[in-house]
Structure 1
Amino acid sequence: MYKSLTKESSKSFWREQVKKLDAYIPGKSIEETKKEYHLHKVIRLASNESPFGPSPKAIEAMKKEIQDGHLYPDSTCTTLRERLGELHGIDPGSYVVANGADNIINLLIASYVNPGDEVVYCTPTFSEYSKNTLLMGGTTVEVPTSDDFVFDLEMMLEAITEKTKLAIVCNPNNPTGTIVDEDKLRDFLNRLPGHVIPVLDEAYIEFVTHESYATGVEYIKEGFPVISIRTFSKLYGLAGMRVGYAVASEELIEPLLTVREPFACNRIAQAAAVAAIDDYEYIGKVLCENRREMTKMIEKLHSLGFEAEPTHTNFIFVNMKQDSSRLANNLLKKGFIIRPCAPWGYPEHARISIGTAAQNEHFFTVLEQILTER
C-alpha cells in the first residue's frame, strides 16, 4: 500500500555512507545576498574567484564555441590535453579533464578508496577530501597542521598504517594559503610506503613564487607516483565553466578515466581553457595585481589590529580576533561577502579573497565603518 514519505522515513532508503555526510555549504551567492538585503551591488571576496573575469581570448573562444552548443563535446578533451601536454612537457595520455577540481577529487577517491581504506591529510583544509572518502566507505585520518598552519608531513607519516591508501597534501593549502617546503615534501615522498599514493592538490599553484617550491609535474617527471590536481577556476578566471584536471602516470590515471562520466567537461569550457592558457598578457596582469594587492591588504589588516601572513594564493587567512561570523554578517548587509572559518574550527578567522584595487579599497572603507560603529 502506498505511503507518503516523511523527511525522516525517507532516510531509511539512503546509503549508510550518505547518512554520515554533511552537505557542502558554499559561500553565499551574490544573487542571494542582493535579494536578502535589497542591495544593487555585491562584491564577493569569499570564493577565491578571479576579480578580473575570464581572459579576452577565452571569452572570444566561448562565444565562437557556443554556436555548436547543440553538439556533444569531445569526451576525452583531446585538444585541451594536448595543450596541457605541451605546457608541462608530459604526454597527453597522462591527463584526465573533468568538471572542476572538486569533480577530479571525487573521481580520484572513487577510483582508489575501498570501504575501510584510510585517507590521510591535515586540517584545516578543503572539505571534499573528507566528504568523498566517507561516501566511499573509507576512513578519514585528519592530522592537525603545524602552529603556522602548514601541512605537518612528519605527523602525516606517523599516521599512516597498512590500511592507508591515499595521502593528500593541499599545496598551497585552502584555507590557510601556506605551502610546504620543497625539501620536506621530497623527503615525505621518499619515505612514503609503497602502498600509499601521494596526491598533491595544487589548485592555487600558479600564484606561488617561492623559490623552495616544486610542482607535482616536476615530481612526476622524476618518476614519483604522484597525482597532481589543478584547476582553471582561479588564475584563469573560469570558475563558472568548471574545468579541472589531474596529471599523473598513465597507469595512475587509467581508473579515473574508467569512472569518469562520458561528457565531464562541456565544449564551451574546453575551448575557454585552451584559449586561456595562451593569453599570457592576461595571466601576467592577474599575477602582478594579485601580488600588489596582497601586500597592500596585509598592511591594512595589520593596521586594523588583525593578524595576517603573506599568502601563496589569491586569498588571505585572517585572524579577526573576534567572532568572524558576526563580522561577516555585518559586511553582508553592506554588500561584501567574506568566508568565516568557523566550519574549519577557527571561529575568529576569515578567508578573504584578494579583489581588484577598487574592490579592496571599498572593502576596507566599509570594514572600518563597521568597526567604528561597534
Structure 2
Amino acid sequence: MSESLWRSSVKDLDPYIPGQAAEEAKKQAELTDVIRLATNENQLGPSPKAIEAMVKAIQEAHFYPDLTCLELRTKLGALHGIDPENYVIANGADNIINLVIASYINPGDEVVYCTPTFSEYHKNTLLMGGVPVEIPTTKDHKFDLEAMLEAINEKTKLVIVCNPNNPTGTIVEEEELREFFKRVPKHVVAVLDEAYGEFINRENYATGVEYIKEGLPVITIRTFSKLYGLAGMRVGYAMARPELIQPLQRVREPFACNRVAHAGALGALEDVEHKNKTLSDNKREMEKLVKEFRAFGYEVEESHTNFLFVDMKQETGSIGAELASQGLIIRPCAAWGHPTHARISIGTAEQNDKLLKALQEINAKAPHHA
C-alpha cells in the first residue's frame, strides 16, 4: 500500500552505498581498531584551526546559521578571484549536484556523462524525471569528451565531467577539456565536478576557476570533504557566471550549511600549512603504494586524487572481505563494472604499511604462489 503512494521516479532509484563504515566493520569482525581506506577521507583529520573554530561555533548552536554563508563566499572569492555573489554553499558536493540537476532538468531532459563515475549524477537525474545518457570511459579510464559531444542532441540539457574522475582518479588533457566546453551547444549547461581538483599534481593545469574567468559557461563544483578533512561536516560549493548560478540560489534550501560546518570551512581555509602537509604526505604515500602495488603484479592508473584505482588481477570482493577481517577496509569496484579493481584511499604511512603487509600475506596464500 505505502509503495503505491511513492512518487513514480523514486521506485527507479537505488540507495547510495558508501564504503563500509568503521563502526560496522568493528562490530562485524569484533575489532577494536579499523583503518578505513574506502571513502577517500583525509587521514590527517581537519586543521587544528578548523577544529578550534568549530568548537567555538558549537557554543552558538542555538542561533540559525548565516543564510547564504556570506563570510565563506567572501573568503572563497578572495582565494579564487571570483565575485562572492557567484557562489552557492550547500550541504556537501552531493547536495550541490542535487541542486544543479533540480535547477535545470525537466522530465525527459537528457544528462550526458561517462561511467564509471559518481553515482549521484544518475540518481538525481532519475529523480527529476530526466534521462541519464551514460558513455563508457576510454580504455585508459578517462572521460570520453568526443563521445559525449556526439551524444548531445536537442533533448540534452546537462553534460557533467568529473575531473579528476571518481573512482578512476584520472584527468583529461587540459586543452581537450577547454575545447570541449567551447563546443558544448548553447542549449546545454556544462558542469565540472572537481571534488578532488586540489589534488591534481600537474603544474599549471587549468581548473574550473580558470574556465569561469575565461568566460566559459561552466558550473564548477568543489568540496571541503577531501583536501580539508571536513567530510563529516558536509560543506560543498558551486561557482559559475551569474546567469548559471542564479537558479541554484533559488532551489537551495534556506539553511543548507550549518553553523559549525561553516566555521570549520573558514578555519580550514586559514590553515595553508595543514593543506600543504596533506598534499605532500598524499604524494609521498601514493608513490610508495604505486611502487609496491606494481611489485605485487597489480596495474595502477595514474591518479590525481587521494586514492588509487587498482586492478588486482582477481575478484576483489574476497580480497576486500579478507582485509576487512583484519580491520582494513578498501572499496571493491564490482558495482562500477570492474570486478578485479579496487579503489584504495591513501592513508598515513603507518596505515599504508599495514595494508601492504596484509596484502603481501594474502598474495602469498594465493594459488599462483603455491
Do the structures match in fold with TM over 0.5? yes
User: How many residue pairs were aligned?
Assistant: 366
CA–CA separation in structure 2 for the residues paired with 1:143 and 1:286: 33
Deviations 1:35-91 (A, max 9, x none): 111000000000000000000110111111111011110011010000000000011
- Which residue does 1:255 correspond to in 2? 247
Q: Assess if the C-alpha contact under 8 Å between 2:168 and 2:301 holds in 1.
A: no
- Give the alignment of 1:138-287 within 5 angstroms: 138-211=130-203, 213-287=205-279
Of 274-283 and 234-243, more deviation after overlay is shown by: 274-283
Return the match for 1:363 from 355, 358, 361.
355
User: Is 1:72 aligned with 2:53?
Assistant: no
Q: Assess if the C-alpha contact under 8 Å between 1:59 and 1:272 holds in 2.
A: yes
Identity %: 65
Return the offset for 1:212: 6.3
- Which residue does 1:15 correspond to in 2? 7
Return the match for 2:318 from 313, 318, 326.
326
Return the match for 1:42 from 34, 58, 63.
34
Deviations 1:78-108 (A, max 9, x none): 1000000000001100000000000000011
CA–CA separation in structure 2 for the residues paired with 1:373 and 1:35: 26
Q: Assess if the C-alpha contact under 8 Å between 1:98 and 1:264 holds in 2.
A: yes
CA–CA separation in structure 1 for the residues paired with 2:138 and 2:204: 18
User: Is 1:125 aligned with 2:117?
Assistant: yes
CA–CA separation in structure 2 for the residues paired with 1:275 and 1:151: 34
CA–CA separation in structure 1 for the residues paired with 2:360 and 2:328: 13
- Give the alignment of 1:271-310 within 5 angstroms: 271-310=263-302
- Which residue does 1:6 correspond to in 2? none
Return the offset for 1:209: 2.1
CA–CA separation in structure 2 for the residues paired with 1:209 and 1:36: 38
Q: Helix, strand or coil: the match of 1:68?
A: coil
Of 252-261 and 205-214, more deviation after overlay is shown by: 205-214
Please report the RMSD computed on the Cα atoms of aligned residues, expressed in angstroms: 0.8
Q: Match for 1:245: what amino acid?
A: Y
Q: Assess if the C-alpha contact under 8 Å between 2:299 and 2:310 holds in 1.
A: yes
CA–CA separation in structure 1 for the residues paired with 2:207 and 2:363: 41
User: If the length of structure 1 is used for normalisation, what is the TM-score?
Assistant: 0.97
Q: Assess if the C-alpha contact under 8 Å between 1:294 and 1:310 holds in 2.
A: no
User: If the length of structure 2 is used for normalisation, what is the TM-score?
Assistant: 0.98
Return the offset for 1:371: 2.1
CA–CA separation in structure 2 for the residues paired with 1:63 and 1:225: 39
CA–CA separation in structure 2 for the residues paired with 1:74 and 1:56: 23
Identify unmatched segments of 5+ residues in structure 1. Answer: 1-8
- Which residue does 1:4 correspond to in 2? none
CA–CA separation in structure 2 for the residues paired with 1:157 and 1:187: 11
Deviations 1:146-197 (A, max 9, x none): 1000101000000000010000000000000000111101111111111011
Return the match for 1:94 from 86, 92, 95.
86
Return the offset for 1:332: 0.5
